[in-house]
Amino acid sequence: MGNPTPQPGIFALGTRYHHHLEFDVDDDVATAAVVAALQHGLDSAPVSGGAANVVVGFGPALWQRLRDGRELPGGFEDFAEVSGRDGHRAPATQHDIWIWVHGGGVDGVLDAAVAVSAALDAVASLAQECASFVYHDSRDLTGFVDGTANPAPVEAPAVACIAPGAPGAGGSHVLTQRWVHDLASFEALPVADQERVFGRTKAASDAIPDRPTTSHISKAEIHDADGEERPIYRRSTAYGDVGERGLYFVAFSAEQDRFDEMLAQMYGTGGRPERDRLLDFSRAVSGSYYFAPSLDDLIAVGIVPA
């Protein structure tokens, strides 16, 4: 047998329009009905001809049901609230199913999102929805480039996906969070101070050599005991309107505990003396962990992707 194949939408680049849907499965719904609804949704979504990419992820409880006793990926657990320094917190809003639709046109993406949601309506409730977009040259609404340190496309699968031979091989642990920005306060800072908050220059996204230990990149980068970076693969996008603007954060990893360590550093938990200064200007309002199985594991539970 060959190596399991990851869901290709995780790595599909160049798409400017994104739609995230998170569902809670009704308690009395049979597992077979969930599988049938998901299959119908994927069959109904206009993904042929490159209209949209669809990625499917599952919360721990539902994935355990679908796997029917077969071994789960190591360390896969519900998102737990993070209570950090100075009253900052990352709330837990764990749901059962996450659907990420993205493509080159807002019409095709919306059509696919509506089709999937309609198919799941009989078995699940839509708990959270966020339409997002690539802002200018992949910048966050703060004006800083998002994902500068992402692994190169050829390296991304090894960062994002569980290695062959391990439970869940070819699949990926996923962290989703919606962040609301206080742009008025952030934009009131001189650009030099904004750069010290992020640890990068605003125009060119170069790391500043004297960045504070409280800068975002200082806190968001994690390392092992030997000092080697433990990278994650980010696919975050901006969202918002005149009233509220922010970031829908999405990241993939071969190990869930990389996210735990990153959040602990950002929030200054576990005896850490400092937190990420960016938390003064952006707050998380949701948080869930999902597992995006390989195509092979989706087929094994009865879901055949388009």
Residues 130-177 pLDDT 10s: 999 999 999 999 999 999 999 999 999 999 999 999 999 999 999 999
Distance, in Å, from the CA atom of 290 to the CA atom of 77, rounded to the nearest integer, reads 9
Residue 46 maps to a domain: yes
Token pair, residue 165, equals 């031979």
- 145 touches 204 (CB < 8 A): no
- 159 touches 151 (CB < 8 A): yes
- Spatial CA neighbour of 101 closest among 173, 53, 172: 53
pLDDT of 214 higher than 90: yes
The residues annotated as belonging to the active site are: 146
Predicted TM-score (pTM) of this structure: 0.97
Residue 3 maps to a domain: no
To the nearest 10 degrees (0 to 180), the angle between helices 31-44 and 106-120 is 160
- Give the 3-state DSSP-derived string for the chain, with helices as H, strands as E and coil as C: CCCCCCCHHHCCCCCCEEEEEEEEECCCCCHHHHHHHHHHHHHHCCCHHHCCEEEEEECHHHHHHHHCCCCCCCCCCCCCCEECHHHCEECCCCCCEEEEEEECCHHHHHHHHHHHHHHHCCCEEEEEEEEEECECCCECCCCCECCCCCCCCCCHHHHHCCCCCCCCCCCEEEEEEEEEECHHHHHCCCHHHHHHHHCECCCCCCECCCCCCCCHHHHHCCECCCCCECCCEECCEEEECCCCEEEEEEEEECCCHHHHHHHHHHHCCCCCCCCCHHHHCEEECCCEEEEECCHHHHHHCCCCCC
Residue 135 maps to a domain: yes
Find the range with the poorest average confidence among 67-71, 84-88, 140-144. Answer: 67-71
Residue 249 maps to a domain: yes
Report the domain count for the chain: 1
Residue 140 maps to a domain: yes
pLDDT of 48 higher than 60: no
Mention every residue, 6+ apart, whose C-beta is less than 8 A from residue 142: 181, 183, 186, 194, 198, 281, 282
pLDDT band of 45, cuts 50, 70, 90: confident
Name residue, tokens 């969930």. Answer: 34
Residue 306 maps to a domain: no
Q: In this predicted model, what pLDDT tens digit does every residue of 261-303 receive, in sequence order?
A: 999 999 999 999 999 999 999 999 999 999 999 999 999 999 9
* CATH code: domain of residue 158: 3.30.70.3420
- 38 touches 303 (CB < 8 A): yes
Residue 1 maps to a domain: no
Where in the sequence is the domain holding 53, given as residue range(s)?
8-300
Q: What is the mean pLDDT of residues 81-104?
A: 98
Residue 99 maps to a domain: yes
Question: Which residues face 248 on adjacent strands?
Answer: 178, 237
